[in-house]
Structure 1
Amino acid sequence: MGRNLQSEGRLRPVDLARVHGLSTQAVRNYEEAGILPVADRSPSGYRAYTPLHAGALRAFLALVPGHGHQTAASIMRAVNEGAVDEAFRLIDESHAQLLDDRRTLRAVESALRDLGPAAVPDPEPGGTFIGPLAEQLGIRPATLRKWERAGLVRPRRDPRTGYRVYDDADVRDARLAHQLRRGGYLLERIAPLIAQVRAAGGLEPLEAALGDWHGRLSGRGRAMLAGAAELEAYLRERG
């Protein structure tokens, strides 16, 4: 029966599922989510897909690696609803995010190059207070307090005096924030960079991870190209 359906240009859910290693339920779910066009039903209620549905599935699966599942689904829904300009807007947003991620990477690399180990003396054992740290950086204590409110530094409080105490990691973050501010970066752009440093466990692990970061961004870029090719083929098929 499957061969007869396919010879007529009609496909069962299992025909689409097998090609991509999916379950038939996943194919049905994609249709219900609007990722695939609505399929015709036989008199007995069975779905009858066509090569157009196969093209939609290929396009969606190709878009996922570059844009993520949620955005890829939104792109396909927009196309299937005839809102092609909305689909293009979503694609543009993904490309803009990738560009922003590349700028973030360049900013981190630049800051690491410019952040010499002797730029600021080592903090005192047990931490340093706001006044000495501000003096070392050549900024006002109020600036450090502003950075704290923005989440760039997270000093602890001395339980006896209530004074801010900056440990090694805080001094590192303050140095990096200072370098990035000198480079013209706004606080809201610095915050995610500092978060990257913290997640990596410091500057050295982050520096070692930059190559992998480059690779992941390049992979996303290539995946977006592959997704665009499949989406263009689907758009041509839709006419």
Structure 2
Amino acid sequence: MPQNLKSSGRLRPVDLARAHGLSTQAVRNYEAAGILPAAERTPHGYRTYTPVHARALDAFLALLPGHGHRTAAAIMQAVNRGATDDALRLVDESHAQLLDDRRTLQAVEAAVGDLAPVPQERGDTFVGPLSRRLGIRPATLRKWEHAGLVQPRRDPRTGYRVYGAADVRDARLVHQLRRGGYLLEQIAPLIAQVRSAGGVAPLDAMLRDWRARLSARSRAMLTGAAALDAYLACRPATPEGGVR
């Protein structure tokens, strides 16, 4: 909580906004969305906030970097309606997703580590089986083909796409990098680098960046958890778990 709000009693919207680098309209929008508890009103209808509202705003802003706007808002909305267990479940789900992302990164690193020249052999993997193996739609494979990320040959008799060993490798690598949040246009030069057997240095740089972003997100989640805990601790609860 900003130092100048710690000992304050009643706060105007502008006080809360300035202390957090926001506009007064943003504060009102957060209240309307349930991200902040409802403000009390003066006899003339003006909103008044308290240090508890400042803690709520601290928590929301701290949750944003690690959880994203949608989840951070849902966490705060759950807390403010007295559904703390729902809020904690959302926090747990974000941590589970982060763990899954870390496992995906490890899988990509393993895939890159195993990259090797592929013999020029004819494959017999088709769109359907490969898409099921990767857990994607056939249309996604065709989109990757259109972007030049996979290059299956065509069976001269049937016209069907046939994916050889190198194509399967490329499809798996594209799939893993997409799960890491990379765009097709970012992946394309890396796939080209792998095909040309010119080394995997660009992939190494990308994986280092990916790992750094996951670590930053982990730290942000810790910061968000501390701020959320501080907000939970200062909320005056009713026997039903609500807020007075």
TM-score by length of 1: 0.75
1:164-183 correspondence runs (5 A): 164=160, 172-176=166-170
Q: Residue 108 of structure 1: CA displacement?
A: 0.4
1:4-48 CA distance string (max 9 Å, x none) = x99760001111111121110000000000000000011111100
- Is this contact kept in 1: 2:62–2:227, CA < 8 A? yes
Choose from 229, 232, 237 the match for 1:232: 229
CA RMSD in angstroms, aligned pairs only: 3.0
Equivalent pairs, count: 205
CA distance in 2, matches of 1:147, 1:236: 51
CA change 1:12–1:6 in 2 (3 A) is farther
- Where do 1:117-156 residues align within 5 Å? 118=117, 120-121=118-119, 132-134=121-123, 141-142=124-125, 145-148=128-131, 150=136, 151=138, 153-154=141-142
Which 5+ residue runs of structure 1 have no aligned equivalent?
Answer: 123-131, 135-140, 181-189
1:40 matched to which residue of 2? 40
Aligned CA distance change for structure 1 residues 222 and 63 (closer, same or farther; 3 Å): same
Deviations 1:37-90 (A, max 9, x none): 000011111100000000000000000000000100000010011100000000
Greater shift, 156-165 or 98-107, is seen at: 156-165
Q: Which runs of 5+ in 2 are unaligned?
A: 143-150, 195-199, 237-244
Separation in 2, partners of 1:114, 1:160: 32
- Give deviations 1:215-236, integer Å, cap 9, x for gaps: 1000000000000000000001
4+ runs deviating over 6 angstroms: 5-8
* Residues 36, 76 of structure 1: 8 Å contact kept: yes
| 1:193 equivalent in alignment to 2:201 | no
Deviates more, 1:48-57 or 1:158-167: 158-167
Q: Does 1:213 pair with 2:200? A: no
Q: Cα 1:173–1:33, aligned 2, differ >3 Å: closer, same or farther?
A: farther
What is the rounded CA distance, in whole Å, between the counterparts of 2:26 and 2:159 in structure 1?
A: 57
Whichever structure has more helix as a proportion of its residues is 1
Counterpart amino acid of residue 193 in structure 1: Q
> Kindly, what percent of the aligned residue pairs are identical?
57
- Are 1:163 and 2:150 counterparts? no
SS state at 1:133 partner: coil
